[in-house]
Structure 1
Amino acid sequence: MTVAIDSDKLMGFVFKAVDEVGATLNAALVVMGDRLGFYQSLADHGPTTPAELAERTNTDQHYTREWLNAQAAGGFVEYDASTGRYTLPPEQTVAMTDPNSPAYLPGFFQIALGTVQHTTETIEAARSGAGVGWHEHTSDVHVGCERFFRPSYNANLLPSWLPALDGVVAKLERGAKVADIGCGHGASTVLMAEAFPKSRFTGSDYHQASIETARQRAAGLGERVTFEVAAANQFSGSGYDLVTTFDALHDMGDPVGAAKHVREALAPDGTWLLVEPMAGDHVEDNLNPVGRAYYGFSTLLCTPASLSQPVGLALGTQAGPARIQDVTTAAGFSRFRTVAQTPFNLVFEVRP
């Protein structure tokens, strides 16, 4: 059967593909600019020539010239042909240089670049149905993940997400017992511990290297914060007033088993704060830029991570509220509600 080809549509797709290749390369260029201080230098000094950027960052002018041109072509910086200078606009300055802004993006590019470095292993895993563990990835994945999510936690956890939970802030102020499951580098654990000095916090993660970093980050907080290497269905302790899980449930091999363990570890009136990536319940709900990025991470990072663990349920990064609620219901929880959301996250309150 012969299918007529619309040549205009074909060339439109070709040029879309060209843009995609440029975007793929730009992930590496952003990490390069972040690590070499290019963005910060542009933010500090305003309109800059390649020679000036090279001098200020102690790099080679050939590289700064090509990097600036690539950034200008992609709309990350602006180029003035009359002066030969490049400027980082104020909005991009916030997004690329301010780690305290919820719009801070270098970590997003870093985790993306780290993720694609293991594409060969993921392709082989797809053939066999095996997984690729979180611990098997480059540190760019682990560091980039924290750098991407931490600004959102800083902006939302204390002023918005915790207050949205019924009675939880009052408990934390009086002195509560808290477990942070899948804590990674401990950004969320430390943030809560600093805000609520009367409470006690235990962070856990199966990744040894992440726990070592978390312990370093918590130095100075004393015995109020402890960290342990433990899978999500094996963390220690009981009688917790609050359990938190940030952007980790969908990565777990056995999320139902983890949820059951949370149910057992909670106090009778305890609360589980469950934060997951923004997603709708149907594929068509997620056919947008955020969904596209998350489906990419799901294919190359999160689903392989789940498949590398016992059970290997592979919820996927875009599981959606209904599937997350099914997990909590199967674990014995009876109350589930969405209490907040951001462009990148959904926040759930789960109770016995």
Structure 2
Amino acid sequence: MDLGKVEAFNQQIAQESLGASLTLSNYLGDRLGLFRAMAGVGLLTSEALAERTGLAERYVREWLATQSVAGHIDYDAESGAFALPDEHAAVLADDTSPASCSGEVEVVAAMWLSADRVAQAFRTGQGVGWHEHDARLLTGITRFFSPLYQMSLLEEWLPALDGVVDRLRGGAHVLDVGCGHGTSTILMAEAFPASRFEGTDYHAGLIQTANEAAVKAGVENRVHFHAADAADDMAGPWDLICFFDALHDMGDPVSAARQALAALADDGTLLVVEPAAADKLEDRIGNPVSMSYYASSTVLCVPNSLSQHPGLGLGAQAGYEAIRAVLTEAGFGSVRLVLTTEYNLVIEARR
């Protein structure tokens, strides 16, 4: 046995465990409003921060110490006070920032809360639907994807499609399948006031929140959300149908794609955005993005798919060829990978 290799791997696992512990500290800072209370304020003592947040000072003091030794916040030894740098506030205290990681922290917390349920699913082979997880999963997912959508949807993904942006500007009918809280749908509606949008998701609670978000954004006259299974009749015709990080989660992605094909206008476009992945596992080993995607896929994506018939279980790292095979089996004649980014694959499909 190579003892040097043992020691190196021991240190790797120790670092991963440290990351898990610090993620819990970050979650507490987010949930309790500590990061937001520190943002833009400058130096604060533990007493001052406890007063601002209404929390117990002794707990706040220990949390501040944890965050300072981790390098997340600055500590001024002379005054005994702490400060959250503006650059770090953009990551931990501002959900509108493209650099925000607060949603990811909340998702990880929800995944831990589901660990025993998923362990049982390993034993039985049964699935765990998104709605069966702690409610923080759904809010965390929305917070996680919102910065990515705001940064990429209008500037990168839609322009990568042939002629779609012009069509949206002129007035198109758009269906967003698996819309969640409606973030992507509302972003498109705000950008293209001549178009009409419909969003569907199987989770009724999400749909209610999405409709409320549409009202808040002032687009409720052009956007409507309703509960529906992806394999249901999608009516139509639609000029654009979108699956944003959703197709791989479905128990029957072929049927969902087949319904989308039937509902598309003759010259319509299907947009499928999937997590960045390679077709061969060996091509992503050591990639930090894939590490994150595979970890969440094991606990979230595959269990959700297995909870629905027939439970294909593509997973979040299916890769382009697997998605292309699904779309081809569904009947699409043209399937193209039009954009690859660090985080996503953008796929265009037509009749």
TM over 0.5: yes
Counterpart-to-counterpart distance in 2, 1:249 and 1:325: 11
Q: Which amino acid aligns with 1:278?
A: A
**1:310-337 Cα deviation digits (max 9, x unpaired):** 1100001111111111111111112222
Select between 213-222 and 198-207 the one with higher mean Cα deviation.
Answer: 213-222
Given that 1:325 and 1:336 are in contact with CA atoms closer than 8 Å, whether structure 2 keeps it comes out as yes
Q: TM-score, normalised by structure 1?
A: 0.94
Aligned to 1:151: 147
Given that 1:27 and 1:110 are in contact with CA atoms closer than 8 Å, whether structure 2 keeps it comes out as no
Given that 1:101 and 1:155 are in contact with CA atoms closer than 8 Å, whether structure 2 keeps it comes out as no
Aligned to 1:266: 264
> What SS class does the counterpart of residue 343 from structure 1 fall into?
coil
Q: 1:13 to 1:65 in 2, by over 3 A?
A: farther
**1:218-276 Cα deviation digits (max 9, x unpaired):** 12423421111111111532211000111111110011111111111111111111111
1:248-259 to 2 correspondences below 5 Å: 248-259=246-257
Given that 1:204 and 1:235 are in contact with CA atoms closer than 8 Å, whether structure 2 keeps it comes out as no
Kindly report structure 1 stretches of 4+ aligned residues shifted beyond 6 Å. none
Counterpart-to-counterpart distance in 1, 2:78 and 2:16: 30
Given that 2:39 and 2:84 are in contact with CA atoms closer than 8 Å, whether structure 1 keeps it comes out as yes
* Uncovered stretches (5+) of structure 2, i.e. residues with no partner: none
> What SS class does the counterpart of residue 45 from structure 1 fall into?
coil
Q: Does 1:332 align with 2:331?
A: yes
Structure 2 counterpart of 1:47, from 32, 43, 47? 43
Given that 2:173 and 2:196 are in contact with CA atoms closer than 8 Å, whether structure 1 keeps it comes out as yes
Shift of residue 75, structure 1, vs aligned partner: 2.7
Calculate the aligned-residue CA RMSD, in Å. 1.6
Structure 2 counterpart of 1:247, from 245, 256, 263? 245
Q: Which amino acid aligns with 1:238?
A: G
1:259-298 to 2 correspondences below 5 Å: 259-287=257-285, 288-298=287-297
Q: TM-score, normalised by structure 2?
A: 0.94
Shift of residue 28, structure 1, vs aligned partner: 2.5
Given that 2:252 and 2:311 are in contact with CA atoms closer than 8 Å, whether structure 1 keeps it comes out as yes
Given that 1:107 and 1:145 are in contact with CA atoms closer than 8 Å, whether structure 2 keeps it comes out as yes
* Uncovered stretches (5+) of structure 1, i.e. residues with no partner: none
Q: Does 1:204 align with 2:204?
A: no
> What SS class does the counterpart of residue 170 from structure 1 fall into?
helix
Given that 1:116 and 1:300 are in contact with CA atoms closer than 8 Å, whether structure 2 keeps it comes out as no
Counterpart-to-counterpart distance in 1, 2:105 and 2:296: 12
Paired residue total: 348
Q: Does 1:138 align with 2:134?
A: yes
Q: Does 1:193 align with 2:189?
A: yes
Q: Which amino acid aligns with 2:209?
A: T
Shift of residue 153, structure 1, vs aligned partner: 0.7
Select between 279-288 and 134-143 the one with higher mean Cα deviation.
Answer: 279-288
> What SS class does the counterpart of residue 173 from structure 1 fall into?
helix
Q: Which amino acid aligns with 1:201?
A: F
Structure 2 counterpart of 1:91, from 64, 87, 95? 87
Counterpart-to-counterpart distance in 2, 1:296 and 1:160: 26
Shift of residue 296, structure 1, vs aligned partner: 0.6
Q: Does 1:15 align with 2:11?
A: yes
Q: Which amino acid aligns with 2:179?
A: C
Aligned to 1:109: 105
Counterpart-to-counterpart distance in 1, 2:325 and 2:72: 42
> What SS class does the counterpart of residue 226 from structure 1 fall into?
strand
Aligned to 1:317: 316
Aligned to 1:231: 229
Counterpart-to-counterpart distance in 2, 1:144 and 1:186: 14
Aligned to 1:125: 121
Aligned to 1:71: 67
> What SS class does the counterpart of residue 14 from structure 1 fall into?
helix
Select between 12-21 and 101-110 the one with higher mean Cα deviation.
Answer: 12-21
Q: Which amino acid aligns with 2:302?
A: T
Given that 2:211 and 2:220 are in contact with CA atoms closer than 8 Å, whether structure 1 keeps it comes out as no
Shift of residue 82, structure 1, vs aligned partner: 4.1
Structure 1 counterpart of 2:160, from 158, 164, 172? 164
Counterpart-to-counterpart distance in 1, 2:314 and 2:68: 39
Q: Which amino acid aligns with 2:46?
A: P
Counterpart-to-counterpart distance in 1, 2:104 and 2:71: 17
Q: 1:106 to 1:163 in 2, by over 3 A?
A: same
Counterpart-to-counterpart distance in 1, 2:234 and 2:325: 25
Q: Which amino acid aligns with 2:50?
A: A
**1:18-74 Cα deviation digits (max 9, x unpaired):** 322222122222221112221122222123322222122221111112212222233
Q: Does 1:57 align with 2:53?
A: yes
